[in-house]
Amino acid sequence: MRGILKINIIALFFLLNLSLYAQKTYPETFEQEFTESFRTKPKLDIKLDNRFSFIRSDDVKTLGVKVGLSFNRRFKVGLGVNQMITSTGNKISVNDTIRSVDLDYFYFSPYAEYTFYNSKKWAFSLAAQLGFGEARYEYKLNNKEVELAKTLVLSYEPAMLIDYKIIRWFGIGTGVGYRIVYYKRSVIEERFSSPQIIVKLKIYLGEIVRTISGKEWQIDD
């Protein structure tokens, strides 16, 4: 899996550079697109994603839910909540006793996306989110969770995303990215900075409502 991640990260930076080159080459087109998109009436953007990364030698999964606004199917902004749902452990000395502890990590993530290619089936996007959250060590004592240490964690996560619409109602998405942590206290020993693989299941609620009821909902497709 690590080898696949390295290949994906190289591809990510190649595509990022390609997109930046296109924006520098055609700045008027990008600026015009940006201005015109934010003049349109926004639609609701709802998504669920899984982010697979590494903490030490453990594979961990973070589940995220995002709600925001989509402008002209090109620019999206909003807020997400994320929870690490795969437990990873460590051994910490507590009062001269070595205890096995679990790591809990939860954070909020303002996000922005730019879709630079969009067709009936495919969408290619550049995305970034900031992370503001908390990580902590916990252990069980007499069947109760005891908090041992915690820290504020600030992060930045750029990513390249690809979506494919299978049928009118459902699609899938994937992507590669990197979590860069720029603040974390040393009381939590783990290194959170890591490559990421992103997997999404897309449900096009707008299409479902239109098909069933014939009514139009302001939800992004």
Task: Tell me if 196 is assigned to some domain.
Answer: yes
Full-model pTM: 0.78
Task: Tell me if 209 is assigned to some domain.
Answer: yes
Number of structural domains (the chain) is: 1
- Burial readout 84-98 (b: 16 or more C-beta within 10 A, e: otherwise): beeebebebeeeeee
Task: Tell me if 219 is assigned to some domain.
Answer: no
CATH number of residue 46's parent domain? 2.40.160.20
Task: Tell me if 218 is assigned to some domain.
Answer: no
State which residues form the domain around 155. 2-213
Task: Tell me if 23 is assigned to some domain.
Answer: yes
Task: Tell me if 221 is assigned to some domain.
Answer: no
DSSP 188: S
Task: Tell me if 220 is assigned to some domain.
Answer: no
Per-residue pLDDT of the chain (221 residues; tens, 9 = 90+): 445 444 444 455 545 554 554 555 555 576 777 788 888 888 888 888 889 887 776 788 899 999 999 898 889 999 999 999 876 667 776 666 677 788 899 999 999 999 988 888 888 998 999 999 999 988 877 778 888 889 999 999 999 899 888 877 788 888 989 999 989 998 888 888 888 999 887 777 666 666 676 565 555 55
